[in-house]
Structure 1
C-alpha cells in the first residue's frame, strides 16, 4: 500500500494554505539545487498535505528563475503522490472571465530558458505526455468544487509562455486563434517533471485577466492580477481542503499512467549509466533504477 500524500503548489497570490493543521516547516535538500522555499507539511482531515509556494514567500522568484526540478524533487522526497498546482492565468475566451477556475487538461510549452527534464546525458528516458493531467485527480477537483459551490470550467488547453513579460497583442491574438483557452508562465516544465517523477498532476488555473486580446481589457497589470488572485485564494484553499478530506488513504492508480510513467521509459543500458546522474535520480527514479529493477527499455 502506498499512502496518498497530497502536494499543493501555490502560484501568484497563494503563498500559504489556510486550514493546514499540525504544520511543520521542513527544508529538504535536493541534488538539483535550491527549491523555491521551505515545505509546509501538515494534514487536512486524515490526509497528509505538503505545500510549497512556487515563487517563494514574498514572491522572490520570476517564472524563469524557479528551480522546477528542485521543487518536484523535494516534493517527491516528501512522499507526494498527487500534486495540485494553483496557477494564475490569462483567458482567451469570453466565457472564461476573471475569477473563474479552469481545470485544464492539456498544455502547450512555449518556454525556452528552463531545464525541462531530470534525464539527459548519462541516463536517457522518455515519458509520455499525451495526457499530462491525471483524469481521476481532475475529477476529484471537479467534485470538490461542486460540493463547495465553486464554479469551475472543466477541460481546456493552457499555453505556457516564457515571460516574465506579458504577451504582445500579436502573440495574444495568435494564441487565441490557435484555440488555446488560457495562458500562464509556470505550468511547464512543472507538469513534465511531475510526470517523470511519477507524481499525478492537475492544475487549478485561476483566471485573473483576459490577456491583451480583449478590446475592453487591452493591457494586463500586475495589480489587477494579484487582486483577483488574492480574492480567489479563499476559494482555492476550500477546494484543496475538500480534495484532501475526500482523498483515499491509499494512492489511486492514474488512468493516464502517471503512477508508473517510468516503467518502460529508461533507454540507457545499466552498464552505460553515469553513476553520478543515477545518484541524483534516487528520489525521482529510484524505483526503476535500483539494481533489482534496472532493465533496458
Structure 2
C-alpha cells in the first residue's frame, strides 16, 4: 500500500472546494519546460489533492499550446498516483445532452501539432493504450457523479481534434456516423497517452456543453451558450471532485489493471545504447524502469 495522491486536471476554479486544508500554490520545474500554471495542493478528507488549471489561470493556453509533457511530469514529481481529467466537450448523441457528464473509456486521436511521447531517439518505448483509462478511477468518477445527482453516462469514445476551431458540419457528421464517436474535445490527447507512459492511472470525465454542429435542431456551435453551460458544469464538477477522496481512500494498492506498471516491458533500447541526456529527462516519469 502507498499513499494516494489525487491529481485533477481541469478548468480554473475547480480547486475552490469547501474543506480543502493547507491549500497552497506550488511551482514545479520540469525538463520539458514550464507546466500550464502552478499547482494548487491541499488535503481533503485525509487525502492529498493536486489541482492544475489545464489552460492556465485566465485561459492563456490554446489546446495545441498546453504543455502536456510538463504537466504530467510535474504531477509525477508531486507524487500523484491517480489523475482525473475533466474537460468540456461537444456531444454526438441525442441522449448525451448539454449538462450531462460522460465517463470516457476510448479515444480517437486526430491531433497533429503536439508532442505525444516522453520517449524518442536514444530511448525508445512502446506502451499499450488499448484501454487508455483506468476502470478503477472510472468507477469512482461514476459513483461520485451519481451521488451528486449528475446525469452521467458510463462509457464513450472521445474524438480529440486539434482545434482551436470547431468542426465543420461534414467533419461532425463523419465523426458521429462513420467513426462512431460519442463526444468531441481538444485536450485529452496526448494527455491520456502521456499519463500511461508515466504509469499514472487516468480517468476522463467529459462535461457536455453542446451538440457540436451535426444536430439539425441546434445548428452550429454557439460559444455564448457553451459558456453558460460551462458555468453549471463547473459547480457539478466541484461536487464530483469533492467526493473522490472518500471513495478512493488515503491508501492505495497496486492498480489491478496494470496502469502503474505500463513501462514494465515497454523500453526497447538497451542500456548501453540509451541517450544519457534523454534518460536524465525521463527521471520522474520512467525512473522506476530506467
Normalised by the length of structure 2, the TM-score is 0.97
Contact 2:82–2:202, Cα closer than 8 Å, also in 1: yes
State the distance in 1 between where 2:231 and 2:21 align.
Answer: 21
State the distance in 2 between where 1:137 and 1:246 align.
Answer: 10
Q: Which residue does 1:166 correspond to in 2?
A: 166
Secondary structure of residue in 1 paired with 2:153: strand
Shift of 1:48: 0.3
Runs (4+) of structure 1 moved beyond 3 Å? 13-17
Q: Which residue does 2:252 correspond to in 1?
A: 251
Shift of 1:3: 1.0
| Superposed counterparts of 1:135-284, under 5 Å | 135-177=135-177, 178-284=179-285
Indicate how the Cα distance of structure 1 residues 73 and 9 shifts in structure 2: closer, same or farther if over 3 A, else same. Answer: same
Shift of 1:254: 2.6
Indicate how the Cα distance of structure 1 residues 238 and 116 shifts in structure 2: closer, same or farther if over 3 A, else same. Answer: same
String of CA shifts for 1:58-111, please: whole Å, max 9, x gaps: 000000010100000001100110000010000000001100000010001000
Shift of 1:146: 2.2
Shift of 1:22: 1.4
Secondary structure of residue in 1 paired with 2:242: helix
- How big is the alpha-carbon RMSD for the aligned residues of Structure 1 and Structure 2? 1.2
Contact 1:131–1:256, Cα closer than 8 Å, also in 2: no
State the distance in 1 between where 2:250 and 2:90 align.
Answer: 35
- Does residue 7 (structure 1) correspond to residue 10 (structure 2)? The answer is no
State the distance in 2 between where 1:55 and 1:222 align.
Answer: 17
Secondary structure of residue in 2 paired with 1:187: coil
Secondary structure of residue in 2 paired with 1:84: strand
State the distance in 2 between where 1:180 and 1:255 align.
Answer: 28
String of CA shifts for 1:214-264, please: whole Å, max 9, x gaps: 012111122222221111111101111101222222223334321110111
State the distance in 2 between where 1:252 and 1:222 align.
Answer: 43
Contact 1:10–1:16, Cα closer than 8 Å, also in 2: no
Q: Which residue does 2:94 correspond to in 1?
A: 94
Normalised by the length of structure 1, the TM-score is 0.94
Contact 1:15–1:57, Cα closer than 8 Å, also in 2: no
State the distance in 2 between where 1:119 and 1:263 align.
Answer: 15
Secondary structure of residue in 1 paired with 2:215: coil
Contact 1:14–1:229, Cα closer than 8 Å, also in 2: no
Indicate how the Cα distance of structure 1 residues 4 and 261 shifts in structure 2: closer, same or farther if over 3 A, else same. Answer: same
State the distance in 2 between where 1:210 and 1:252 align.
Answer: 39
Shift of 1:15: 5.2
Q: Which ranges in structure 2 are unaligned for 5 or more consecutive residues?
A: none
String of CA shifts for 1:105-162, please: whole Å, max 9, x gaps: 0001000000000001110001110100100110111112222222210001001000
Q: Which ranges in structure 1 are unaligned for 5 or more consecutive residues?
A: 290-297
